Chains A and B, each alone.
Chain A
Amino acid sequence: MSAPRTAPGTASGTAVLSVQDLAVRFNTDQGEVDAVDDATFDVREGEVLGLVGESGSGKSVTATALLQLIRPPGRIAHGRILFGGRDLCTLGEETLAHIRGAEIAMVFQTPRTALNPLITVGEQVARLYALHAGLSKAESRKRAIAMLRTVGIPEPERRARQYPHQFSGGMCQRVMIAMALASRPKLLIADEPTTGLDVSTAARILDLLRELGQQTGASIVLITHDLGVVAATCHRVAVMHAGQIVEIAPVRALFARPAHPYARALVRSIPRVDRAVNMEPIPGVVPSLINAPPGCRYAGRCPWVEDRCRRDKPMLKEIAPDHRVACFAVEDGRAGPV
């Protein structure tokens, strides 16, 4: 994890996935909830893009939308998700079913519940080879064992015959990663892949994700609330607050010069293991998204708020190469130097 990371996508900047004005809306008894409010971002070839925010920031809903798995009472209200020359929002279920797993794969937070408890681990991985690559039973099994070895399962021949309950949490997550990568997807979405794992296990899972991403060329969208995980793993970061992307920047720029008032507060609000710090909690609470007012959703918590912030929605604007921020106070300099 100590190797310096240069963003692989920045040279070419080719987008594997392009999300434009994505809005995900839920109908509730109390009113409409814009869980994702006009999100726009690209995922570039071979990069790890972090999607960071607190609970309710819309990061997991965004991931679910990428896979077209939003179910009622939720719906994609508008927006485009361009992947491989197609808009995923316009595709039929049959086409999507092929894309999911084969071209876009997902790793979940709770690996144990994502695995089938009644089928051996080896069989679960092997089935993917049979399904996506059309391999024979024997060949699928061979490939599955090889893949389990790649993700660091010791004695893969023996472990392949075991069931998920015989695996530890970290080992289950390795199996999930093996399954996600079995079809050599172009895009891997990892939703809090290390939450709930012990620190040393978590560190190894993150290393594994990054290494395998590099080896297979897969782009990774890493969803997390942990800024440490972001710093250790991602090339670029999108910061979400209450359904809005407020800042998107290369990882170094985000930590060295966070611009959005929320991003600045977030970086200052966490205790650190590497040095003694003065923690400053973020003021206020995440606002209710039910019938949310127009304008910036951080307005109620922001020290630089003015009338315009509550009325109009700030757009993402580039403040430095590849570093975009959605904030009027940053735009007109009220928030001070970045």
Chain B
Amino acid sequence: MAVPALCEVTDLRVQFPLRGLEAWVRALRDGKPPVVRAVDGVSFAVAAGETLGLVGESGCGKSTVARSIVRLNQPTSGSIRLAGTELTGLSKDDFEKQRPHLQMVFQDPTASLNPRLSVRRTVEEPIRLHTSLSAAERRERTDAVLEEVGLGADLAERYPHQLSGGQRQRVNIARALITNPRLVILDEPTSALDVSLRARIILLLEELRARHGLSYLFISHDLATVRYLASRVAVMYLGVIVEEADTAELFARPLHPYTRALLAAVPVPDPDARRDPFVLSGEIPSPIDIPAGCRLRARCPLAKPVCAEPVPLRQLSPGHRVACHLVQEEA
């Protein structure tokens, strides 16, 4: 890739200790305290100006990755670099200095706003904290950002309960943009919105990215939206990335059985669409008992004995990485 990576995540691991009776029983049985391996060795890079889609089903660890980057949870090990600066070892104060470059928009547009703060106060908060701008300068900047996300000045004095869901999400986006961030992490930003609002927020996000050269890490389970917004897509399953490729390539030629099954499961708004009948059996196992070898093995209809061996992410063609023994065989 010609463009240098803006954000580079290397071998990120996030583990949570398990508590309670079950943990105690497991500790006795296994001789060591049990942990949930939510993120189990994830590496990816987001280039300047690009949107990387991070997709997967509930519990795959995609949100944990996002939250680790902004320090909403502590990584167990691994490296997170933003524009060359290693974030994981930074002191709280030094990390705060990086925070303006790194913003996040959450799924629930209501829960992520303080009901007691007006729109203006909410959007202004980050530059109050991170800059020494005067009140007048802050006001000017806030008005400009509100305008940019399509919120008129008449909405600035309103409170969250006086706004629609779409307007609330625009406030969240404005708050993320006001510090002129380089990387914005979008965690399912459109999932809680109605269809017609969803389309407008998607278009707004794309417009803002193009205008400001922003980079997005776009976390979603909605593959249709990912196809629209992302230039590259990484697919997660049970704490690891199983496939990564350019968007067009991934949707045209999904190589990993999990990606293939995921794409096949999305209903298409065309009654005559031919569906790929490829399905997996069973359900996602618990991230406490991660199977050895390929994590999909027990559910995969193509599984062979070789799948019990560890399976690293391998480059098959430029920009297309897959973690599957069988794809390797065919290629």
- Which chain A residues have a beta carbon within 8 Å of chain B's beta carbons? 1-2, 4-5, 54-55, 154, 168, 170-171, 198-204, 206, 225-233, 251-252, 255, 265-267, 269-274, 276-277, 279-282, 285-286
Given A199-B221, A231-B270: A271 and B277 within 8 A (CB)?
A: no
Choice from A5, A231, A285 contacting B268 with Cβ under 8 Å: A231
The answer to whether A270 touches B270, judged by C-beta atoms less than 8 angstroms apart, is no
With A198-B58, A202-B265, A271-B202 in contact, is A1–B275 under 8 Å at CB? yes
The 8 Å CB contact of B199, one of A204, A271, A276, is: A271
Task: Decide: A270 and B195 in contact? CB cutoff 8 A.
Answer: yes
- What B residues does A282 contact at CB under 8 A? 195-196, 199
Contact residues of B between 257 and 278, Cβ < 8 Å to A:
261-275, 277
Rounded to whole angstroms, the CA-CA distance of A121 and B228 in the bound complex is: 41
A225 touches B268 (CB 8 A): no
Q: Which residues of A contact B166 (CB under 8 A)?
A: 285
With A2-B277, A202-B265, A279-B228 already in contact, the answer to whether A274 and B199 are too (CB < 8 A) is: no
The CA-CA distance from A33 to B169 in the complex, in Å, is: 27
Taking the closest CB of chain B, its distance from the CB of A24, in whole angstroms, is 20
Closest Cβ of chain A: how far from B46's Cβ, in Å?
A: 21
Q: Name B217-271 residues within 8 Å CB distance of A.
A: 221, 223-225, 227-228, 248, 251, 261-271
With known contacts A272-B224, A273-B251, A231–B283 Cβ distance under 8 A:
no
18 A-B residue pairs with Cβ-Cβ distance under 8 Å, sorted by A, are A1-B275, A5-B271, A154-B282, A198-B57, A199-B223, A200-B280, A202-B267, A227-B195, A228-B267, A228-B268, A228-B269, A232-B271, A233-B267, A252-B272, A266-B195, A276-B228, A281-B200, A286-B196
Q: Say yes or no: B271 contacts A199, CB within 8 Å.
A: no
Question: Once the chains bind, are A225 and B195 in contact (CB under 8 Å)?
Answer: yes
Do B265 and A199 have beta carbons less than 8 Å apart?
yes
User: In the complex, what distance in Å separates the CA atom of A55 from the CA atom of B196?
Assistant: 10
Residue of A nearest to B229 (CB): A271
Please state if B271 and A269 are interface contacts (CB–CB under 8 Å).
no
Contact at A232–B283, with CB atoms within 8 Å? no
Give the residues in chain A near B203, CB-CB below 8 Å.
Answer: 279, 281
A203/B194 contact (C-beta < 8 A), A1-B275, A198-B57, A269-B199 known: no
Which residues of B are found within 8 Å of A203, using beta-carbon distances? Answer: 264-267, 279
Please, which residues of chain A bring their CB within 8 A of the CB of B224? 228, 270-273
Note all chain B residues with C-beta closer than 8 A to A199: 57, 221, 223, 262, 265-266
Q: Which residues of A contact B263 (CB under 8 A)?
A: 273
Q: A231 contacts B267, CB within 8 Å?
A: yes
Residue among A4, A229, A232 with max Cβ neighbours from chain B (10 Å) = A232
A30 to chain B, nearest CB (A): 14
B85 at the interface (CB under 8 A from A): no
6 closest A-B pairs (Cβ-Cβ)?
A: A228-B267, A281-B199, A282-B196, A232-B267, A198-B57, A203-B265
Is B112's beta carbon under 8 Å from chain A? no
Q: Establish whether residues B270 and A274, one from each chain, have CB atoms under 8 Å apart when the complex forms.
A: yes
* Identity of the chain B residue whose Cβ is nearest the Cβ of A274 in the assembled complex: B268
Contacts of B114 in A (CB 8 A): none
Q: B328: CB under 8 A from chain A?
A: no
Q: B172-196, CB under 8 A of A: which get 1 and which 0?
A: 0000000000000000000000111
Q: Is B164's CB within 8 Å of the partner chain A? A: yes
Q: How far is the CA of A30 from the CA of B58 in the complex (A)?
A: 40
A204 to B299, CA, bound (A): 15
Q: Which residues of A contact B274 (CB under 8 A)?
A: 2
Q: Which residues of B contact A1 (CB under 8 A)?
A: 267, 275, 277
Partner of B194, one of A171, A225, A228, A232: A225
Closest to A235 in B: B271
Give every chain B residue within 8 A of A229 (Cβ-Cβ). 267
| A286 to B268 CA separation, bound complex (whole angstroms) | 25
Q: Pick the contact of A269 from B164, B195, B223 — CB < 8 Å?
A: B195
Question: When chains A and B are docked, how far (Å) is the Cα of A270 from the Cα of B269?
Answer: 9
* A54 & B271 in contact (Cβ 8 Å cutoff): no
Question: Which residues of B are found within 8 Å of A198, using beta-carbon distances?
Answer: 57-58, 221
Query: Smallest Cβ distance from A264 to chain B, in angstroms?
Result: 13
Which chain B residues lie closer than 8 Å to A252 at the CB level? 271-272
A195–chain B nearest beta-carbon distance, Å: 10
